[in-house]
Chains A and B, each alone.
Chain A
Amino acid sequence: MATVEEVKDYIFKKVESYAGKKQVKVPQMTQDVIEHFGEDNCSKKDVKEALRELIDDEKLVYGYFGGTTIELPHKEGSAN
């Protein structure tokens, strides 16, 4: 079984690798994580818990660009 820390680490690195290139949505990320760890080792509930911790710790933030995305915290250009 994947631990919450392992799932968090995987999600964070994925989002980090997408930064500035691709906006990732929660359902896509959930499928990606489950595929990576395997259905027997990671459930949707595990992904939800990992995402909750990442958001609450402000390691990731929600964004909205035609649907909700998850992103690294940053100051967006429009806010300048």
Chain B
Amino acid sequence: MSNTPLIDELVKGPWPSFIKDIKRTAEKNEMCKDLLNLLEMSYRDKKTHWKHGGIVGVRGYGGGIIGRYSDSPELYPGVSHFHTVRINQPAGWFYSTSALRYICDLWEKHGSGLTNLHGSTGDMVMLGTTTEHLEDIFTDLSEHGWDLGGSGSDMRTPSCCLGKSRCEFACIDTMAICHDLTNEWQDELHRPAFPYKFKIKIAGCPNDCVASIARSDCSIIGTWRDNIRQDDAAVAKYASGELVYGARADGKVDIKADVVDKCPTGCMSYEGGKLSIDNKNCNRCMHCINLMPQALRVGVDGGATILLGAKAPIVQGALLSSVLVPFIKMDPPYEEFKELIGRIWEFWDENGEARERIGEMIVRIGKGNFVEEVGCDPIPEMICEPRSNPYIFYEEYFEEE
């Protein structure tokens, strides 16, 4: 009989199983055998047997290594240390096969052989090594042109969608921005000095394939400020069924029902076979472009919308990010954006409480106050929810007092 009956249940069924992966790796790695036993014990006891945190790291770096210790080293010595190493992924997650082979070989040499590509921040995550191996891993990685990612109270490894490399919707060069910001803010990435973590994600268009609006403290989302490019001949082909869209059973697009009636701002009309768009009232939701990509295209005057404040529930509940700057040009060297982030970090540094994400601070002090402090003018696009306080106090009111 197996000595891991509970986790063996997770191997049954047609879906991928991380237990299956660990068992396969355990055939040639002793750490993984103890990992399975420790995991079985956690399932049996209904509690974790990992201790999180500590002072492990490599010289000069405050991020990139996450300490993991087991609370039962005498039972399972193979996983008494089982630290995680985060490796800064290339922008857009493009790898050569030789690069991936190198990473796998490195991890079989120095660690458990288990990897997680990719963590939710975007890094390549190497699971399970011991303190003695850390400096060797770091030296080896550095010699091969890799670097560690972020962890702790620092700027986390910026990540982006593949942008202009493969996507016709991209309004900004996400990969170039990601690469530049990563290099610009090396200190912020490797030497944690913030009240808590700060994540940056860059999406090429409002489809936001990297889910930056939900998963990053600062979302850079590509958009455009001119008009949607429209090809009337292609619109007619969608209407006739000559061009099809995959979401409907027959592939046809009903322009009135599927496109115009679902426009969130009602800025489109379709009469007499003519599609009209009131671009001033378009909020760049991408719905029409996604449905008829050969007829409608993003504008040519590209830039980005900057949003702040998203986070998953950890200390407090989840938040979505909200608009700070509706449109900013994102051309190298991105000075305007970098200056804005510099002001934001400065204010957060001085006013953020310990373990308070920037979104939580904005909720605590009020967005109006935050906007004023970071030197932005208040505009309607910044409103993230209907007001709950019916009273309006004008500054003049206070002056008269």
List of A residues within 8 angstroms of B154 by Cβ: 68
B window 49-72: CB within 8 A of A: 51, 53-57, 59-63, 66-67, 69
List of B residues within 8 angstroms of A74 by Cβ: 55
List of B residues within 8 angstroms of A68 by Cβ: 62-63, 152-154, 192
Flag B131-160 by CB within 8 Å of A: 1 or 0 each: 100000000000000000001111000000
**CB-based nearest A residue for B51:** A78
List of B residues within 8 angstroms of A62 by Cβ: 55, 57, 61-63, 152, 191-192
B349 on the A face (CB < 8 A):
yes
Q: Of B26-34, B108-116, B193-201, which stretch is located at the interface?
A: B193-201
Complex CA distance for A52 and B60, rounded to whole angstroms: 8
Complex CA distance for A27 and B353, rounded to whole angstroms: 9
B352 on the A face (CB < 8 A):
yes
| Most A CB within 10 A of own CB, among B152, B194, B355 | B152
Does A79 contact B354, Cβ atoms closer than 8 Å?
Answer: no
Complex CA distance for A78 and B152, rounded to whole angstroms: 19
B81 on the A face (CB < 8 A):
yes
A4 on the B face (CB < 8 A):
no
Give A32 Cβ to nearest chain B Cβ, in Å: 13
A14 on the B face (CB < 8 A):
no
Does A25 contact B55, Cβ atoms closer than 8 Å?
Answer: no
Whether A64 contacts B355 in the complex (CB less than 8 A), given A27-B349, A56-B60, comes out as: no
Complex CA distance for A40 and B187, rounded to whole angstroms: 24
List of B residues within 8 angstroms of A30 by Cβ: 193, 349
Complex CA distance for A13 and B153, rounded to whole angstroms: 23
Question: Which 10 pairs of residues, A with B, have the shortest CB-CB distance?
Answer: A62-B62, A68-B192, A68-B152, A78-B69, A68-B153, A63-B55, A26-B193, A64-B53, A67-B355, A64-B152
Complex CA distance for A27 and B153, rounded to whole angstroms: 10
Complex CA distance for A25 and B152, rounded to whole angstroms: 11
A window 57-80: CB within 8 A of B: 58, 61-68, 71, 73-74, 76, 78-79
Complex CA distance for A76 and B80, rounded to whole angstroms: 13
Whether A71 contacts B352 in the complex (CB less than 8 A), given A26-B192, A27-B194, comes out as: no
Complex CA distance for A71 and B53, rounded to whole angstroms: 13
A17 on the B face (CB < 8 A):
no
A-B contact pairs, 21 of them (CB 8 A): A25-B195, A27-B349, A27-B354, A28-B354, A51-B193, A52-B191, A55-B60, A58-B59, A61-B57, A62-B55, A63-B54, A64-B151, A65-B53, A66-B355, A67-B196, A68-B152, A68-B192, A74-B55, A76-B54, A78-B54, A79-B131
Q: Indicate which residue in A51, A52, A67, A71 contacts B153 across the interface (CB closer than 8 Å).
A: A67
**Interface SS of chain B: helix, strand, loop or mixed?**
loop
**CB-based nearest A residue for B355:** A67
Flag B339-357 by CB within 8 Å of A: 1 or 0 each: 0000000000110101100
Does A64 contact B66, Cβ atoms closer than 8 Å?
Answer: yes
Interface size on A, residues (CB 8 A): 27
Interface of A toward B, CB cutoff 8 Å: 25-28, 30-31, 44, 48, 51-52, 55-56, 58, 61-68, 71, 73-74, 76, 78-79
Give A48 Cβ to nearest chain B Cβ, in Å: 7
List of B residues within 8 angstroms of A76 by Cβ: 54-55
List of B residues within 8 angstroms of A79 by Cβ: 54, 56, 69, 81, 131
**CB-based nearest A residue for B194:** A27
List of A residues within 8 angstroms of B67 by Cβ: 64, 78
Give B314 Cβ to nearest chain A Cβ, in Å: 9
**CB-based nearest A residue for B314:** A66
Complex CA distance for A70 and B60, rounded to whole angstroms: 12
Give A51 Cβ to nearest chain B Cβ, in Å: 7
List of B residues within 8 angstroms of A63 by Cβ: 53-55
**CB-based nearest B residue for A62:** B62
New A-B contacts (12) at CB < 8 Å, excluding given A26-B153, A27-B195, A64-B53: A25-B195, A25-B354, A28-B354, A52-B191, A61-B57, A64-B151, A64-B152, A65-B54, A67-B152, A68-B152, A73-B55, A79-B131
